[in-house]
Amino acid sequence: MMRATLGLRAHSGWAVVVGVAGPTLPPRIVDRRRIELADMRTPGSKQPFHAAEPLPLKQAEQWIERCTRQTGQLARSALNSVVQDLRKKGYEVAGCVNLRASGRPLTTLAATLASHALIHTAEGEFFRAALAHASAGCGLTLRELKERELFECAARELNLSPAELEQILKDWGKLLGPPWRQDQKYAALAGWLALL
């Protein structure tokens, strides 16, 4: 089986996953999809900290725990599906890169819910953490990388100039067609780094 890796880029309630496979340089894109990380049957699960904000602290804790369980199950199921689909195509998924934000570290739930900015930070971290746990649950080697460092890191580790990286991303987009927005580009580049 050929080795493949995944790049992950999370949003509130969903994520983009791009699978890449080598040893070709650049590698080939072998999968790309959007996965759901919030149970739409549960109102508020797409923005769990926003939904928790008006609740008494104990209820907010219970709500976040409930959303954590649901999101964790969805993330594990979705990543497992990607891994199984790629296995059927002859690829063994070895690892992934989960893109992280550069936000402030979180403190207590009470402090987070008292700050609208921290609520947004917490939600981003919530979904990225779910992807990290799901990756481990699927037996994938996990690397986490700050998104703002992605291109600098890729240029250094792949020994390519930023212009060469941009051209490769553009060429992939022409070959694959839409959707090929920033989410897919960043996740593809992250997946490529996971191949190293």
Report all structural domains of the chain as residue ranges with CATH numbers, in order of start: 2-195 (3.30.420.10)
What's the CA gap between 191 and 3, in Å, rounded? 12
Question: pLDDT at position 94, please?
Answer: 93
pLDDT band at 107 (very low <50, low <70, confident <90, very high): confident
What beta strand segments (E) does the chain contain? 2-11, 14-21, 28-36, 91-100, 141-146
Farthest-apart Cα atoms in the chain, separation? 54
What's the CA gap between 85 and 28, in Å, rounded? 16
Q: Report which of residues 106 and 64 the model is more confident about.
A: 64
Model confidence pLDDT, tens digit, residues 171-190: 999 999 999 999 999 999 99
Mean pLDDT of 118-145: 95
pLDDT band at 25 (very low <50, low <70, confident <90, very high): confident
| Pair of tokens at residue 168 | 């490769």
Question: pLDDT at position 106, please?
Answer: 78
| Pair of tokens at residue 46 | 């797409």
Q: Which helix (H) or strand (E) holds 118?
A: helix 116-137
Whether pLDDT at 28 is above 90: yes
Mean pLDDT of 70-84: 97
| Pair of tokens at residue 105 | 């570290």
What's the CA gap between 91 and 94, in Å, rounded? 9
Contact 122, 106 (CB under 8 A): yes
Specify which residues 15 forms β-bridges with.
Answer: 10, 35
Q: Which of 104, 97, 127, 114 is nearest to 17 (CA)?
A: 97
Q: Which of 62, 3, 13 is nearest to 36 (CA)?
A: 13
Whether pLDDT at 104 is above 90: no
